[in-house]
Amino acid sequence: MIVLVTVMSLVGGIALLEAADRVPHGKWTRLPYPPEPARSFVGPTCHRLVGHDDDVVFVVTASGSYFAYHGDIATWTKETSLPDTVTERGCRSRYRRHGTPMKAGRAIASYHVDDDGTDCGGRRYYRLLADGSIWEWSAGGCIVTWLAGHIVFAIALLVVSAIVIYTRLRPSAWNAWRKSATNTDA
């Protein structure tokens, strides 16, 4: 009985973690309009995180101009070309690819950028809608946060398992405690 309850708690907990991980986290955020109407997204689909300009996305306009959106300062800058510092060389995304909710509206272009860091990573999704608006959905995280969350979850599962096991093995002690708690004859 003890083994069965413990195994079921652990299997149930792992299944719950997996199910929660597959649910999209975050929300769609509208970026400011670029100085010229965007036609499509360009640039690498994997970005090596180096500590600056880690949330850049590039668009090309109908006139052929390049613009870069810098999320850290929330501004668009005109680029003469795609910079050499943004490269896919050595980039390997470790982010698990789960579904992202569709953005309402007619999409002209969709794009994603995998962010690759030493202990952090993620994926940014972009949608260019027919009205010219650009939307972003970011998902990802760091191993330290992931590990801490799983440790807390495992401890919580063990505590719940211990409570269930104790109440199953000691029903007489539990019933005696309930009787004494409800007994008002003092």
pLDDT at 115: 78
pLDDT at 33: 95
b/e map of 55-90 (b: 16 or more CB within 10 Å)?
A: bbbbbbbeeebbbbbebeeeebeebeeeeeebeeee
pLDDT at 173: 63
| Nearest-angstrom CA–CA distance, 122 and 46 | 10
pLDDT at 37 exceeding the cut of 90: yes
Is residue 44 within 8 A of residue 22, CB to CB? The reply is no
Residue 185, judged by CB atoms within 10 A of its CB (0-12, 13-18, 19+), counts as: exposed
pLDDT at 170: 61
What's the first-to-final CA gap in the chain, in angstroms?
A: 38
Grade residue 154 by pLDDT with cuts at 50, 70 and 90: confident
- Model pTM? 0.64
106-131 pLDDT tens trace: 889 988 888 777 777 778 889 999 99
- Tell me what percent of the residues of the chain surpass a pLDDT of 70: 70
Structure tokens at 4: 């069965």
pLDDT at 94: 56
The pLDDT of 6-12, averaged and rounded, is 73
Report the side by side order of strands in the sheet with 134-142: 29-31, 134-142, 120-129, 107-116, 46-48
45-67 pLDDT tens trace: 777 776 666 678 899 998 999 99
